[in-house]
Amino acid sequence: MPRNIFSDPLLTKAFSSVLSPDGNKLHAKAISWSIAAGILEGLSLGLIVPTISGLIDFGGLDSISWWLGAMAVLALAAIWVFFQQQRTAYMCAIDILNNLHQRIGDKLARLPIGWFGPRRTGTVSQLSTEGIMSIGGAIAHGECELIRTITALATTNLVILVWRPQLGLALFAGALLVALCLYLDRMLRDRGHQLNVSDRDEVSRRIVEFASCQPALRAAGRSQDYEPLADALAADKKSSLAKFLLSTAALIISNFASQITVVVLFVTATALWAGGHLHPVALIAFLGVALRFKVLLEQFVAQFTAADLVRGPIGEVEEILETTELPEPDSVPKDSTKQAMPAPGMVEFHEVGFGYDSDTSVLNGVSFQASPGTLTAIVGPSGSGKTTLFRLMCRFWDINSGAVRMGGVDVREQTSAQLMRQITMVFQDPYLYDDTLLANIKMGSASMSPGPDAVSAGDADVFAAAEMAGVRDIAQRLPGGWDCPVGSGGRKLSGGERQRVSIARALLKNAPIVLLDEATSALDPENEARIQDCIATLRRSSTVMIIAHNLNTIVAADQIVVLNSDGTVESIGKHDALLESSPIYAGFWQSRRSAAGWSLSR
Ligand SMILES: Nc1ncnc2c1ncn2[C@@H]1O[C@H](COP(=O)(O)OP(=O)(O)OP(=O)(O)O)[C@@H](O)[C@H]1O
Ligand SMILES: [Mg+2]
């Protein structure tokens, strides 16, 4: 969570949490160098006035030669320490840039799929493009510089306090006023941000919706005046104005603080001079120091703001790094992916209860079993939980009650590698990588699957699988043939074509369990026949589970699991028996047949 300004004002703890162990050692050094640099800078500045006073009081260069020598040494030491501070601070920034991408990537690979929603995906992409860069910049230009400035201010103040307590107290009061105004500035900006943030989000959401739903909006004749977007823009305009006014007030307060500090210092010093407590030359020297003190205060405000800007991104990184990973058994030996499952190809649901959130349950008391080498069709109304069943088999989410066993072992007692090695998934709208057609099929070969015994599929196997799934036709159509890049997500191919590539992958992987979400859209008879052939081939070596829409698939199934709309199992059986016993199945069958090949999902 974003850290509170009081619990971690300089973000030191926050930076520690995003640095690597080596980076943390460097960070401690960078902070030490920053403090040392600040002390030297403060001493050099603070000692100017006593030195000049010494010149006046004792008369003659000899009496202050010691002071001058000390100041020269201080100046040289300050240069060297400043260099060390910059070097270590930049190395911390490089540590963040080098390691944080890797750490976030490693973490994402272990998070439950349920964690990845549109908001999270947006946050991760924002972090990887800008966020991490800004965190790295803030440690070098924000935190370390800020520590140096604060130490320089404190040291200068201390020296002047010892020399002339009244002037020291005036400097202290000025610094306190600036800190107070900075706090007010932050409060006002936060308030402005809170007023506007939900309206900003709503505008972004509506713009994305407006852009991505153009076909639907045009079909409904609403592409010109899309009210939800217009309303969101109007609300944003109103709250943006309030935010702007608050930010302006904050800016005025910040500027006011350093100006008023200088006035207070001038008045106090002049009063001391008028009372005969300060020599005119010392007064002028002090006024010079006061102006430099003002610059340091302004630097403090700017550096604090620069460091503070990354409070949000650091909070987001911490949230990702602290998210609980999908627990995996740690007693499983490293080479366990080689070991055979006790019941390869067996799928079992035992009294499974599941909901995506605690308020709603999607599946209730679901029990069924699919024996190795059989074909199971899953049917049920839209929203009854068919896709959810598949997700639970892949352990994208953990169930609330009961057990899901794949290959005879509870999915929670297997490592992801063991589980994924058993399963191939063919989704309705498969994702293809931005690579060639051939490389996308090869993705299914053992070399791409987890496991130390992975063997690369030979080209003959790849082409055989591609031929069977009907990918050769696609290769012939594309300009570069098998080597043609398919574009990001496979956008050069149609939905049906992407599914054929995905089926070729499944044939090649030859996993014990195949999960197939059948296309709801009508396929042409030739493709239909191909898919049926592929299913028949897959069935020879694997347990096949299909969310079925096609009548041929359903009739050919060894068993059909019929789900109720409340996520319970209505009945399990073969086609003929279910027609008699299951009202949902009989209705489903009837509507399919009357649609005569149309596949409206009901
Ligand atoms: N990621 C998710 N987060 C929250 N709820 C979800 C999520 N995915 C699905 N649901 C909800 O779970 C229920 C079951 O969804 P599921 O996709 O499993 O249904 P389905 O039977 O596959 O439907 P369809 O035939 O339309 O594909 C639905 O009410 C849906 O709104
Ligand atoms: Mg579905």
Per-residue model confidence (pLDDT) at position 202: 85
Does position 556 have pLDDT exceeding 60, yes or no?
yes
Dihedral angle, C-alpha 417, 422, 426, 432, nearest 10 °: 30
Distance (angstroms) between ligand 1 centre and the Cα of 497 equals 25
pLDDT grade for 596, boundaries at 50, 70 and 90? very low
Measured at the CA of 384, the angle between CA 381 and CA 390, to 5 degrees, comes to: 115
Q: How far apart are CA 130 and CA 7, in angstroms?
A: 26
pLDDT, mean of residues 352-378: 93
Judge contact between 496 and 523, C-beta under 8 A. yes
pLDDT tens track for 217-265: 888 777 777 888 899 999 999 999 999 999 888 888 877 888 888 888 8
pLDDT grade for 152, boundaries at 50, 70 and 90? very high
Q: How, if at all, do strands 559-563 and 543-547 pair?
A: unpaired
Counting ligands in written order, which one lies closest to the CA of residue 516?
2
- Any atom of ligand 1 within 6 Å of the Cβ of 382: yes
Q: How far apart are CA 207 and CA 507, in angstroms?
A: 41
Does position 57 have pLDDT exceeding 90, yes or no?
no
Counting ligands in written order, which one lies closest to the CA of residue 517?
2
Per-residue model confidence (pLDDT) at position 252: 86
Does position 191 have pLDDT exceeding 80, yes or no?
yes
pLDDT grade for 598, boundaries at 50, 70 and 90? very low
Q: Which amino acid is at 284?
A: I
The strand ranges marked E within 150-303 are none
Per-residue model confidence (pLDDT) at position 127: 83
- Any atom of ligand 1 within 6 Å of the Cβ of 567: no
Per-residue model confidence (pLDDT) at position 59: 60
Does position 55 have pLDDT exceeding 80, yes or no?
no
Q: DSSP 3-state assignment of 544?
A: strand
- What are 280's two structure tokens? 């005119």
- Any atom of ligand 1 within 6 Å of the Cβ of 505: no
Count of all residues that appear for the chain in the document: 602
Per-residue model confidence (pLDDT) at position 430: 82
Per-residue model confidence (pLDDT) at position 336: 53
- Any atom of ligand 1 within 6 Å of the Cβ of 560: no
Distance (angstroms) between ligand 1 centre and the Cα of 383 equals 5
Counting ligands in written order, which one lies closest to the CA of residue 359?
1
Per-residue model confidence (pLDDT) at position 154: 95
Q: Whose CA is nearest to atom 18 of ligand 1?
A: 385
- Say how many CA atoms lie within 13 Å of 195 toward its Cβ: 19
Strongest mean pLDDT among 379-388, 523-532, 550-559: 379-388
CB-proximal residues (5 Å) to ion ligand 2: 387
Q: Which atom of ligand 1 is nearest to the CA of 117?
A: 1
Per-residue model confidence (pLDDT) at position 447: 45
Q: Whose CA is nearest to atom 6 of ligand 1?
A: 356
Counting ligands in written order, which one lies closest to the CA of residue 381?
1
pLDDT tens track for 405-463: 999 999 999 988 889 889 998 887 788 888 888 888 888 665 444 444 444 556 788 88
Which of 58-72, 73-87, 501-515 is predicted least confidently?
A: 58-72
Sheet containing 559-563, strands listed edge to edge, beginning at the edge strand earlier in sequence: 423-426, 513-517, 543-547, 375-379, 559-563, 569-573
Distance (angstroms) between ligand 2 centre and the Cα of 87 equals 55
- Any atom of ligand 1 within 6 Å of the Cβ of 364: no
Mean pLDDT of the chain: 85
pLDDT grade for 548, boundaries at 50, 70 and 90? confident
Out of 378, 382, 388, 569, give the residue to mutate to test ligand 1, the one with the largest number of ligand atoms within 8 Å of its CB. Answer: 388
Per-residue model confidence (pLDDT) at position 333: 56
Counting ligands in written order, which one lies closest to the CA of residue 385?
1
pLDDT, mean of residues 201-222: 80
Q: At what angle do helices 165-212 and 227-274 cross, to 10 degrees?
A: 170
pLDDT, mean of residues 294-308: 87
Contacts with 97 (C-beta within 8 Å, 6 or more apart), sequence order: 132, 133, 136
pLDDT grade for 520, boundaries at 50, 70 and 90? low
The DSSP element (H or E) to which 542 belongs, if any, is none
- Any atom of ligand 1 within 6 Å of the Cβ of 384: yes
Q: Which residue has the higher pLDDT, 454 or 120?
A: 120
With tokens 């002390």, the residue in question is 39
Distance (angstroms) between ligand 1 centre and the Cα of 356 equals 9
pLDDT, mean of residues 483-505: 85
Out of 358, 364, 366, 384, give the residue to mutate to test ligand 1, the one with the largest number of ligand atoms within 8 Å of its CB. Answer: 384
Contacts with 531 (C-beta within 8 Å, 6 or more apart), sequence order: 500, 503, 518, 519, 523, 550
Q: Whose CA is nearest to atom 10 of ligand 1?
A: 356
Per-residue model confidence (pLDDT) at position 570: 94
* 69 C-beta neighbours (distance < 10 Å), count: 10
Counting ligands in written order, which one lies closest to the CA of residue 378?
1
- Any atom of ligand 1 within 6 Å of the Cβ of 356: yes
Distance (angstroms) between ligand 2 centre and the Cα of 4 equals 43
pLDDT, mean of residues 47-52: 79
pLDDT, mean of residues 564-568: 93
Going by C-alpha positions, the residue among 535, 566, 546 that lies closest to residue 393 is 546
State whether the Cα torsion 492-497-502-506 is positive or negative: negative
Q: Where are the alpha helices (DSSP H) in 275-375?
A: 280-308, 311-322
Q: Whose CA is nearest to atom 28 of ligand 1?
A: 383
Per-residue model confidence (pLDDT) at position 30: 95
Q: Whose CA is nearest to atom 31 of ligand 1?
A: 383
Could you tell me which residues are beta bridge partners of residue 432? 489
Q: Which atom of ligand 1 is nearest to the CA of 385?
A: 18
Q: Which atom of ligand 1 is nearest to the CA of 567?
A: 14
Q: Which atom of ligand 1 is nearest to the CA of 388?
A: 18
Out of 119, 354, 356, 588, give the residue to mutate to test ligand 1, the one with the largest number of ligand atoms within 8 Å of its CB. Answer: 356
What is the maximum alpha-carbon separation in the chain? 117
Q: How far apart are CA 331 and CA 180, in angstroms?
A: 55
- What percent of the chain has pLDDT above 90? 30
Strongest mean pLDDT among 33-37, 205-209, 212-216, 582-586: 33-37
- Any atom of ligand 1 within 6 Å of the Cβ of 136: no
pLDDT grade for 384, boundaries at 50, 70 and 90? very high
